[in-house]
């Protein structure tokens, strides 16, 4: 498993932060750089049909080593890291034995990783951890998934006594900004079902996710000298604040959990004359999701009546839908993952995803694709960390899924 850690550290040092403002695919050229590096590595361990296209979608095959007819499985991870936190000059730190107290990530800047702030650390006393240096994200979302999939494929290749059917793997760009499935060729991938290996403490298994939409709002105000502004000025920022105040106060990420949905303002840029801001809208329930979108539309209509037609412009786009309705008809793939986790000594934790995933969009594209955890914590944060034994268990789960699939 030393290779697993070496791979992970090598991958996270490549800045593949996706860029929502770019209309290119991939949005960061380093994603293609990483894809080509991974392709070379996969060829080196003996995988076949290794291909990287110009958009940095990588696909490869581990051929079956049994004559038994079994379903073709896919394992998928994404190349990019979150645009929401610094990803330049990532400097991972390996703590060989977490001793149960504060970890000093950056002595110079007095940055510590504390179990008081992050109680889940207490589950990993005595284990080796990989952390950030306190100034960037780590990139375990999703470089851990990549490292785990490749290590699992190498394990299967080097242990032919473990029988398995044909396995396909894929690494995709720009998942963090909702574009990971945009150019994914499901037919070319050619599997019966797949798993994304992405996110969450070890043991998490997810086949439900938010329905998601993105709202972009432009407010056109009118700026005049404040000394002569009465009955003339329209301060676009004040109108934006008014819109925000009309949304339910308790339906924000910081007040919600489990299946509760929310409106989340993700950016804001304003002057008196013009304000632009964005929301993501999330709900597990399709009817409640529709109500949330409808409320925003009604608020915009109200403000346009109040301040004049065209004052507030809304662009509202659905991003993805809850995969549950696509997974339930093929629930045996969840049962297979649960059985594999138990066989690997992992306690399963079935839970909904409070976010989106490539797997959700792929499921609606005809490829059932639930999510299996990669073992990390505090993703997109400078306090991100991952226990090395959790990464090792994730590899074992992937191997067991392949092995048990061939025993059906």
Catalytic member of 80, 174, 358, 384 = 80
The strand ranges marked E within 153-210 are 167-172, 193-197, 204-206
- Known catalytic membership, residue 6: no
Nearest of 94, 68, 100 to residue 2 by alpha carbon: 94
Contact 78, 61 (CB under 8 A): no
- Known catalytic membership, residue 403: no
**Exposure b/e, 122-149, CB count within 10 A at least 16 = b:** eebeeeebbbbbbbbbbbbbbbbbbbbb
CA distance 381 to 132: 9
Contact 259, 313 (CB under 8 A): no
Sheet with 274-283, strands from edge to edge, namely 262-270, 274-283, 211-220, 312-320
**Exposure b/e, 278-288, CB count within 10 A at least 16 = b:** bbbbbbbeeeb
Cβ partners under 8 Å of residue 70, min gap 6: 64, 164, 165, 405, 406, 408
Q: Which two tokens stand for residue 358?
A: 């490539």
CA distance 290 to 279: 15
Catalytic member of 133, 148, 175, 251 = 175
CA distance 391 to 180: 23
Active site amino acids: 80, 175
């Amino acid at each position: 498993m030393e290779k697993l850690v070496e791979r992970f550290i090598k991958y996270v040092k490549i800045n593949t932060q996706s860029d929502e403002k770019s209309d290119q695919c991939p949005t960061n050229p380093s994603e293609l750089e990483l894809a080509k590096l991974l392709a070379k590595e996969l060829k080196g361990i003996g995988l076949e049909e290794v291909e990287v296209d110009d958009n940095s979608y990588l696909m490869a095959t581990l051929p079956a080593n049994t004559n038994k007819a079994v379903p073709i499985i896919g394992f998928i991870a994404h190349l990019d890291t979150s645009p929401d936190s610094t990803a330049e000059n990532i400097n991972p730190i390996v703590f060989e034995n977490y001793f149960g107290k504060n970890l000093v990530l950056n002595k110079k800047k007095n940055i510590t990783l504390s179990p008081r702030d992050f109680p889940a650390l207490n589950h990993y006393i005595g284990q080796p951890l990989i952390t950030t240096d306190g100034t960037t994200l780590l990139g375990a979302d999703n470089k851990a998934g990549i490292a785990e999939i490749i290590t699992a494929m190498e394990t299967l290749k080097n242990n032919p006594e473990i029988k398995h059917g044909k396995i396909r793997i894929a690494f995709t760009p720009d998942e963090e900004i909702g574009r990971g499935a945009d150019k994914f060729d499901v037919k070319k991938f050619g599997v019966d079902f797949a798993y994304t290996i992405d996110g969450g403490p070890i043991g998490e298994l997810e086949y439900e996710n938010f329905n998601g939409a993105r709202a972009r709002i432009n407010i056109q105000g009118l700026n005049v000298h404040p000394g002569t502004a009465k009955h003339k000025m329209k301060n676009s920022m004040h109108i934006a604040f008014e819109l925000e105040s009309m949304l339910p106060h308790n339906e924000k990420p910081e007040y919600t959990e489990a299946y509760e949905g929310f409106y989340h303002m993700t950016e804001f840029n304003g002057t008196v004359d013009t304000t632009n801001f964005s929301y993501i809208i999330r709900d597990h329930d399709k009817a409640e999701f529709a109500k949330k979108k409808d409320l925003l539309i009604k608020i915009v209509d109200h403000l346009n009546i109040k301040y004049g037609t065209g004052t507030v412009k809304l662009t509202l786009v659905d991003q993805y839908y809850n995969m549950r309705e696509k997974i339930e008809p093929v629930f045996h793939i969840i049962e297979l993952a649960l059985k594999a986790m138990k066989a690997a000594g992992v306690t399963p934790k079935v839970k909904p995803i409070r976010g989106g995933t490539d797997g959700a969009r792929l499921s609606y594209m005809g490829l059932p694709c639930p999510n299996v955890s990669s073992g990390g914590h505090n993703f997109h944060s400078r306090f991100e960390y991952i226990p090395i034994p959790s990464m090792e268990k994730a590899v074992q789960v992937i191997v067991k899924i392949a092995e048990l699939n061939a025993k059906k």
